[in-house]
Each structure stands twice: as C-alpha cells, then as structure tokens.
Amino acid sequence: MPIRILCSLLFLTGLAAQGHAKVIADVNGSLKKIASIGDALDSPDHHPVHILYVHGINQVGAGDSSLLRTSICTRLRLCEPSDWKNAGAEFADKGEFADGVAPPALEYLGNPVWSNQDEWRASAPFVVHWAVHLRRHPALLVVDEINWWPLLLAIKCRHIIAPETNLAGPDPALLRVCSEPGAQDPGGNGRFYPWIAAGQAAKLAAVRPRGMLINRNLKVNLVDWGLSDVLMAVGPMGGLLRDGIRQLMAKSAAFDPDEADKSTSRAAGAGNGKYNWRAQLVDDNALDREFIGVTHSLGSYLLFNALSDAAGSAVPQELASVESARLAAEQSAMRYIFERTSLMYFFANQLEILEIADLEIAPSETSGAFHSRGFVAPPASTAPAANFRSLVRRWQQYQSQFQAAMHPSGEAARQKIQVVAWSDPSDVLTYRVPRIGDVEVVNLYVQNAAHWFGLFESPAKAHVNYASNISVLRVMFLNSAHSGTKH
C-alpha cells in the first residue's frame, strides 16, 4: 500500500472516530452551580448517602446499576470493584404482592397475563442493596437498585417475543431470558420463571428469520422489548409498577446502613436504632441520611410516580384497615425519602413524550370552546393520574418544609432541590427536560460514544453509556467546587 494512501486512511480514521466531547450546559454557568454526590459524601456528620437507582426500558435481568458501580471504581478510581458489598435483596411482599394472593385480573387480547399464584409471585419486583466506602470520602455510599422489570416479563415473553419469532424471526438472547434458569438474573437475584417452556423456545429458535438482520434487531430489541415498557407503564400496569416501587422504596428507608457496613449478609430490617425512619419522621428533623435519585430513561417517571397517592386494590372488609395502614405507612416512607432528597440525576429523559399520555384537564371555563366547534366537552376524569409537575411540586414541598424545620432562622442554609438531566444529542430515546413548575432543571449535553464521519454514533452506546462517561461521573461525584471545571 502506498504510504500516502496509508496516511490518508489514518487521517480519515482519526476524523471518523472522534473522542468524547466535554459537558455542555444548556444555560451558561449552570454547571458551576449544581451540587454533587461528592458534596453529600463529604458532609460534616458523615451521614450515609443512598443512591436510589431506577433502571429504564429494555432491561434484561438484574444488575443495571453495575455499570455505574464499576465505573465509580475504574473510571474515577474511588474504589475497587470488589469493594462493593451485596447487602441483600428484598421483594415487594405486601398488598397484592403478598404470598398467597391471587394474581391481578389483567388480560391481554382476552388471555390472562398471569394464570396462577406461582407466575404472579415470580413477577414481584425487588431491590438489591449495595454498599461501599469510597476513597477520599468518609461517608458510606449505598446503592438501592430497584428492579421493576419482572412485572413485565409475562407479557413481553409470551405475547410479544414468542409471536414475533414467527414474523421477523427469533432473537436467541431474549428467548434464553424467557426460558432458561439463570438467564434473567446473572447476579443471582430475583426469581426465575419459564414464561416460555424450554421445548417451545427450542422450536422458536429454529424458525427461519424473515426480516432482514438490522431491521429485525431494531424491531425486536428497541420496539418489542424496549418501547413496550413505556406503553405498559402509562396503562393499567402503571398502578402495579407504582405500588411495587413504593414498597421497595419503603424497604430502602428501613434499610440499616450500619448493618450493611458490618456484614455482607442480608441487612435490611425494620429500621431499628439510629436509622429508624419512623422515629426520625415524627420526633427528629435531623438529616440522619441523604437520598439521591439516579434514573435511566423511564426510571425517572416511575420514581416520581411513587409519590402518587395509592388507592390500593379491592380487599375483604376485614382486611381493609390493615391495607389502609400499609398504604399510610408507605406514604410516610415516601415523605421521609423525598424530604431527604435534594438532588436528582436523569440519564436519557422521556418525560416530555410520556406526559402526552397524562394530559392535564383545562379549567372548566374554557369548555365553551368545544361547543363553538360543535363538540361536547369531555367529562372530567373521575380519578386522574397525577401528572409529573404535581409530583415534583410535592417533592419540593416535602423538601422545603424539612429544610425550614432544620434551619428555622437560616434561609441561606436551606438546600434547594436540583434536577440534572443528562442527554446525548445522538441518543434517539432522550428529550430535553423543561422547567417543571417552580423547579429549575439543568440540562447537560454529553457525547457517550465515538462519532463516525460526523454521520453516526452507536445508538445503543449513546443511550446506555451515561454511567460510564468520565465527564458525567466527574460532575456527579467531584465536589461541586471543582465539578464545573474538570471535564
């Protein structure tokens, strides 16, 4: 090969695979004003810090927080990956998720989603608690990894992936997830159920594909396995997701960080001793620990939906008081957590498109506009779902009241809540997050993967790699005095 051709190819390759760009703030100067997880870990009283990690769409099994946990160690060099201790997994186990309760009467095209109690029990969402001491930070860091994906497997495996095989063709990896023990939970967490029998999965895997490879992969993985999550979250399944996530967050509130620090065994309990959240809520407004939300795509919608007032499912009269007490306790746990949450990080944001399914009802005096066009004004919804703005407002009220009680005479000492929304402009599943009521949102733009000739960036990496992007990690974990200058 002539030397000039080789040099030209090397030059073009350098242009094609452009490196990651620095963080760009939507509003000039906003990057320097945001707080960080590092600030929380450096608090004077060294209180534990919890990251409530909620995964997004397209999840395959447990362990989605592993990319963030590993990157904290390997990219920021704040720990060794083996330093993370698994302090136990807990399942939603109350109300409709209690042992022995019949599955919800939901149907898909006339077919029951869950046929028996074993199937329903296998669908329970769960939380995995991870704990670590980071270098240069005195406080304990806990990651509460909330796994809601099991609730959707029955529909996705049986009614989407299996029929899709006879249309576009089989996806061997997803067929394994739906049929083989261990495929769903590489970390050993969760409960496995063969939604597709092994024999049926083998026959489906042998079907000759009809769709072209790239088109088939896009449809099966992005639309069938991924976007179906969004549709279920804004439909009747949304109530089950909300109730399950509320239970898991309540368990995170009851989790004892001191026990996690002493042992790698199952450490969650009733919230005894220093971290008794009920006692803290009633008798003491001290900041005994801090919570920070880290969510991916649909996860931000689901995390805030846990603040919605839960109605509870129909129960026998003799159990009504028990169910009412449970819901009240969970609402108190939500208050406890959101009072102690001042910072949220959103990776890849879908709020704007999700809120289309939850439009607000206009004031009644505007209804005349319908009659002028010959339409009848739609009736008001009898039980409208809380829209995202109202839930963020509730968070703001909790946090404001809590800070006022902590600092009754010091306005300057009161924390202000912050939402930091991360987006890669080449991520096809992210949207800019606008101001939410009175809450400012800092939109930050990053590049998660190489750009090729200014034409292409891997869609998967653009959507997934926020948690391993060194520029993102530095802003999240460096002390805020430095985070605005190191990218």
Confidence of residue 331 (pLDDT cuts 50, 70, 90): very high
**Model pLDDT for residues 371-419, shown as the tens digit of each residue:** 444 444 444 443 444 678 889 999 999 998 888 888 787 776 667 789 9
Residue 111 φ/ψ, nearest 5 degrees:
-105, 135
Confidence of residue 268 (pLDDT cuts 50, 70, 90): very low
Give me the mean pLDDT over the 233-257 stretch: 92
Strands 107-108 and 140-147: unpaired
Sign of CA dihedral 420, 425, 427, 431: positive
Residue with tokens 């590993």: 70
In percent, how much of the chain has pLDDT > 70? Answer: 81
For 168, the 3-state DSSP assignment is coil
- Asked if pLDDT for residue 266 goes beyond 50, the answer is no
For 471, the 3-state DSSP assignment is helix
Judging by beta carbons within 10 Å of its beta carbon (0-12, 13-18, 19+), is residue 109 exposed, middle or buried? exposed
- Cα 229 to the center of its chain, rounded Å: 12
In 3D, which of 178, 202, 208, 205 has the Cα closest to residue 192?
178
Give me the mean pLDDT over the 246-250 stretch: 96
pTM summary value: 0.87
- Asked if pLDDT for residue 82 goes beyond 70, the answer is yes
Confidence of residue 443 (pLDDT cuts 50, 70, 90): very high
The pLDDT of residue 456 is 87
Residue 132 in tokens: 């670590």
Degrees, nearest 5: CA angle 269-276-247: 55
- Asked if pLDDT for residue 358 goes beyond 70, the answer is no
Confidence of residue 16 (pLDDT cuts 50, 70, 90): very low
Residue 318 in tokens: 């003799």
Identify any residues that bridge with 294 across adjacent strands, giving them in sequence order.
53, 345
Task: Print the SS3 string covering 19-60.
Answer: CCCCCEECCCCHHHHCCCHHHHHCCCCCCCEEEEEECCCCCC
Residue 374 in tokens: 């010959």
Give me the mean pLDDT over the 110-122 stretch: 95
The angle, 0 to 180 degrees and rounded to 10, between the axes of the packed helices 66-74 and 470-477 is 80
Alpha-carbon distance of 307 to 301, in angstroms, equals: 11
The pLDDT of residue 487 is 39
The pLDDT of residue 310 is 63
**Model pLDDT for residues 123-178, shown as the tens digit of each residue:** 999 999 999 999 999 999 999 999 999 999 999 999 999 999 999 899 999 999 99
Confidence of residue 481 (pLDDT cuts 50, 70, 90): low
**Model pLDDT for residues 144-158, shown as the tens digit of each residue:** 999 999 999 999 999
Neighbours of 59 (CB within 10 A): 21
Identify any residues that bridge with 452 across adjacent strands, giving them in sequence order.
456
Which amino acid belongs to residue 434?
Answer: P
Give me the mean pLDDT over the 80-91 stretch: 94
Residue 47 in tokens: 């209180």
The pLDDT of residue 276 is 81
Beta-sheet strand order (sheet of 441-445): 24-25, 441-445, 418-423, 341-347, 290-296, 49-54, 140-147, 126-133, 85-91
In 3D, which of 224, 201, 93 has the Cα closest to residue 152?
224
The pLDDT of residue 453 is 83
**Model pLDDT for residues 169-224, shown as the tens digit of each residue:** 999 999 999 998 887 887 778 888 999 999 999 999 999 998 898 888 888 888 88
The pLDDT of residue 412 is 65
For 146, the 3-state DSSP assignment is strand
Confidence of residue 311 (pLDDT cuts 50, 70, 90): low
The pLDDT of residue 3 is 54
Residue with tokens 């339409």: 375
DSSP letter string over 251-319? HHHHB-HHHHHH-SS--B-S--GGG-HHHHHHH------EEEEEEETHHHHHHHHTTSPP------HHH
In 3D, which of 430, 468, 421, 425 has the Cα closest to residue 447?
425
The pLDDT of residue 439 is 86
